Amino acid sequence: MVDFSLHRGIEAPTGPELHCKGWGQEAALRMLMNNLDARVGENPAERIVYGGRGRAARSWPAYDKIIDSLLTLENDQTLLIQSGKPVGIFQTQPGSPRVLIANSNLVGKWATLEEFDRLEKKGLTMFGQMTAGSWIYIGSQGVIQGTFETLAALAAKHFDGTLRHRLYVSAGLGGMGGAQPLSAKMLEGVALIADVDSRRIQKRRDSGYLDMAQESIAEAVRIALEAKHDGRSLSIGVHCHANDLLEYLVTNRIIPDVLSDQTAAHDPLVGYIPDGLDIEEADALRRADPSEYLKRARQSIARHVRNLLALQQAGAQTFDYGNNIRREAFDQGVHEAFEIPGYVPAYIRDLFNQGKGPFRWAVLSGKPEEIYKLDELALEMFGDNPLLRRWFTLARQYIHFQGLPARIAYMGLGERDAFAVKVNEWVHTGMLSAPVVFGRDHHDTGSVASPYRETERMLDGSDAIADWPILNALLNVASGAHWVSFHHGGGTGIGYSLHAGTVVVADGSDDSAGRLSRVFFNDPGIGVIRHADAGYSLAETTMKTHSDRMKAPFVGPDSNIPL
């Protein structure tokens, strides 16, 4: 028996038994619950999954209604979720999505953090981050491979393909930043990560993503430098504000090899702790005087970026990791903030040009051994990719599952659909004991418009064109995804991004086979077309390779065409 009324101690059901009327509904129910599992989400008591205040549901009554709706939803109906609240069930058709989700979306002129905060306080909206409000978060692993791929590309570009004898310094050990220490360690480096919240440091230690914790900055730095010298991979969490660590490095002329930041600076009211405050003091000030809190947080962010710039100028390979910290600092007068490059144009745009991105799956059986089976299948199908082979080998060694066992891998156009369809066959034949959920982060090749992250410095200047994520969501609905989401603000904050998500469950049926084949080719396919349209030759080559399954009647600028 499963008690779906619980608001604490939530764990997704596992195994082959249906509680809903179809696996599309069942998968949505289980993944929603998995987001709020205490082993997975950052603060399930407040329905916060990660990213400052990225929530899975607007309120507990709304959560209860979502659960009730999924339990009774028919196989030809679609449930509508408006910023974390179920607002309608409509008769559609069996091939339609079972759930459609829209989170945090505001009309352009009103798309400011201040307006969002006002509306949230009135109970009218909810911040969905990326995978929090679209029910496909899988714990810190969800960003680990992206961080691994980013650091691998950086190591190939600036070093000798490894971080051995290199020191990576950053801050933030939350739902996104928690991936940093393990990713650096997987590439043989030393990671030194600051966080003002000791609970986050402990959580990363408990999950195996962090080797040790230190209260003393001096001692943490000493240990890190010793490990760097010896060529030992090691990850250290230090309990302090980012600025305290960075200023210690500046003062003592200790230059990291690699430098970044993963605090939730995109949401300075909730996600960033001002200098000089501990967690309790920050919470009290936020409640008592939000305006003063924002002022102090933004001053700290400006100081933070100035410290990053000082270390960059001293020789650290420094990059922005997509949390909008540069823009926040720029608005506070740090006009050289954008001298720090963004990680997408610096390191991973070529992956997007090939339709590669954070593809992920979770086994609804709850059995870790079934993830390992799928690891072997992936290696059998794509083992000629050395980085992917290395990833699967290291993931098995280092990744501790949080909630439902899951895996992520940067698979590209023609790979995602092939893998998912094969897994569906395994479910059908009983090689897997229960269905498998396939999805991705919204941070993907064609699903997002974010001028300070995924679409920064596009060749044709189309950074802010948001037609692409809208088309992505519409195409995934037409292709038969089991649920589709469209959000505003995830990653870089309110006003700075629009993005779409998609999920399909492999239940072994012919229906699922068709959905998986269409969605997981078309979804990265529109990303390849988007990049080809912007003028990337690698994307054009990728598109031509798959011209039998997609057409691009007209790509590239039409500035020479008379209007």
d(CA 366, CA 370): 8
d(CA 464, CA 462): 6
Helix/strand/coil percentages in the chain, nearest 5? 45, 15, 40
| Range 44-50 contact pairs with CB under 8 angstroms and sequence separation of 24 or more | 44/8, 44/10, 45/7, 45/8, 47/84, 48/132, 49/129, 49/131, 49/132, 49/133, 49/137, 49/175, 50/129, 50/132, 50/137, 50/174, 50/175, 50/176
Q: Would you tell me how many other CB atoms lie within 10 Å of the CB of residue 270?
A: 21
- Select from 518, 532, 522 the least CA-distant residue to 500: 522
CB 437 within 8 A of CB 364: yes
CB 297 within 8 A of CB 273: yes
Per the annotation, where are the binding residues?
51-52, 129, 175-177, 195, 200, 262-266, 272-273, 321, 491
For residue 193, what is the enclosing H or E element? strand 190-195
b/e sequence 298-307, b meaning 16+ C-beta within 10 Å: bebbbbbbbb
d(CA 257, CA 237): 17
Residue 273 is given by DSSP the state: P
Per the annotation, where are the binding residues for NAD(+)?
51-52, 129, 175-177, 195, 200, 262-266, 272-273, 321, 491
